[in-house]
Structure 1
Amino acid sequence: MHTHHVANGHEVVQLLFIFGFSLLAVLYVGAVLFTNRNYKKWPMYRTICWCLGLLCASLAVVGPLANLAHEDFTMHMMGHLLLGMLAPLLLVLAAPITLLLRTLSTNSARLLTKLLKSWLARIVTDPVVATLLNMGGLWLLYTTELYTLMHDNSVVSFFVHVHILLAGYLFTISMIYIDPVFHRKSFMYRAIVLILALASHGILAKYLYTHPPSGVILEQAQQGSMVMYYGGDLIDAVIIFILCLHWYRATKPQVVKEQACAID
């Protein structure tokens, strides 16, 4: 009876995610079509990134991979990479806030801008805070009984998955600025925090290699840890590249000017 109840609960959670992600996809595409009539055409690659990001998140929480993740730690880690790292990166590259600002009326856009300038936005988008929410949540999940509870309780599972996605999104927007950012941090500050975050992620993967969560056999823990370690490095490499590219573009005019002064 307990197993049947848990299975039904997870089915409800999957339906909620399907509805939520489908709604986000429709709203985004609808906003693109609506604003294209009055503004410059919205870049197609951003729409593709949004749809791919939602698809990655969906694969992690709905369907075969999500079902296998309850039994196989390796599959769980693949879902973690999709939901907590790849999906947030793709969603950030889709620039949803920029699209929302050009979709809203003038008054509504001003209210949203005021919210983005608020002290709360300053706090949650700070790289240190975003890293603590992201990495702190992962350490809590895998080093406590929360991992077991997540698979036994559909409500806990829902909130854990939502947290992983949102924390990953906040972490990504705190490192690379695609949408408007009113509380900007220096490139050096973001780079240092990013290095520390990558180190924390790598240390956690190595820790899980020999200290699996409760109920996970060692062989699966080792395979899953390698997926977390090497797969995470690939996605982090993209974030590093974008951050360095923005850094280079921001300093290039100054470098050119200094060279011109030297020639003169």
Structure 2
Amino acid sequence: MHGHGTTVGASAVAGPAVALLIAAGLYVYLARRARRKNPVLGWGRWRTVSFLAGLALLGVALLPPLAPFAHADFRGHTVQHLLIGMYAPPALVLGAPVTLLLRTLPAARGRRLTAVLHSLPARALAHPASALLLSTGSLAVLYFTPLYDVMSGHMAAHWLLHAHFLLSGCLFAYVIAGPDPAPARPGVRTRLVYLGVAIAAHAVMSQLMYGGFGVAVHAPVEQVQGGAEIMYYGGDIAELLLAAALVTTWRPAPRRAHPPFPPLPTA
């Protein structure tokens, strides 16, 4: 039994570590290829730094010492959730991986990827309401129904939950502040409204969890209250960072040039 547990533990560490190293190597390779392919455009080093920082945050969340602590303590789970779903996604999204793919793929594959991004399902998925529902709305289902306790007892469901945190967090960050092309992205004011709704929803859920109102997480009270505090303050910081990213990536629409004098009337 001890040997089996050691093997499982080793695989649980090696799997995420290898996946993160592969992702980092692939991104760096594509960035160098983009620079060679078009030296004039190149590829911003800060984008590479941002993407690698996002992978590093995922490494902190998925590897020891945090990963074993997250299995044993709800406070550790909350820290893990924040890193995977709210801190790593903006860093990954600011790395502009879709733009990098479009610059390095052959023309035919690039057109196919662009067609997918412009498709109706992709446009519906990338709507702020959809992203908000998947990222923030799913937390209510997870913590205020028996779902969290059910998924915590199954390793496959546990990793599925991580994948959901990461993908939904990346989707929300992409919709709100992503530099990658988004055919249906609304204006800055609309995105700020959705971000404000996410901030308010996180605050309300954190307060309900702290007070024990409707929460369905079977853990010691001090762990649930500690996790609620981490979610409250850590979530606020993450969403403020996302708002800052929105400001830094926002570019005003160019104004149309107007003639200096009105046209002369025609006879």
Which TM-score applies when normalising by structure 1? 0.88
* Structure 1 segment 159-174 matched on structure 2, within 5 A: 159-174=160-175
User: Cα gap change, 1:64/1:30 in structure 2, threshold over 3 Å: closer, same or farther?
Assistant: same
In structure 1, C-alpha distance between the alignment counterparts of 2:145 and 2:6, rounded to whole Å: 23
User: Could you give the per-residue CA deviations for residues 116-171 of structure 1, whole angstroms, max 9, x where no partner exists?
Assistant: 11111101110000110111221122122222233321000010000000000001
Contact 2:96 2:178 in 1 (8 A): no
Alignment RMSD, CA only?
Answer: 2.6
Partner of 1:93: 94
User: Cα gap change, 1:121/1:30 in structure 2, threshold over 3 Å: closer, same or farther?
Assistant: same
Partner of 1:68: 69
Helix, strand or coil: the match of 2:26?
A: helix
Contact 1:210 1:221 in 2 (8 A): no
User: Cα gap change, 1:204/1:124 in structure 2, threshold over 3 Å: closer, same or farther?
Assistant: same
Partner of 2:265: none
Contact 2:126 2:185 in 1 (8 A): no
Partner of 1:20: 19
Which TM-score applies when normalising by structure 2? 0.87
Runs of 4+ in 1 over 3 A off after TM superposition: 3-16, 244-247
Shift of 1:104: 0.3
Percent of aligned positions with the same letter in both sequences? 35
Gaps of 5+ in 1: none
In structure 2, C-alpha distance between the alignment counterparts of 1:153 and 1:59, rounded to whole Å: 22
User: Could you give the per-residue CA deviations for residues 22-53 of structure 1, whole angstroms, max 9, x where no partner exists?
Assistant: 22111101101122112233111111111110
Partner of 1:128: 129
Shift of 1:19: 2.8
Contact 1:116 1:182 in 2 (8 A): yes
Shift of 1:4: 8.8
**How many pairs does the alignment contain?**
256
Helix, strand or coil: the match of 1:36?
A: helix
Between Structure 1 and Structure 2, the one with more helix by share is 1
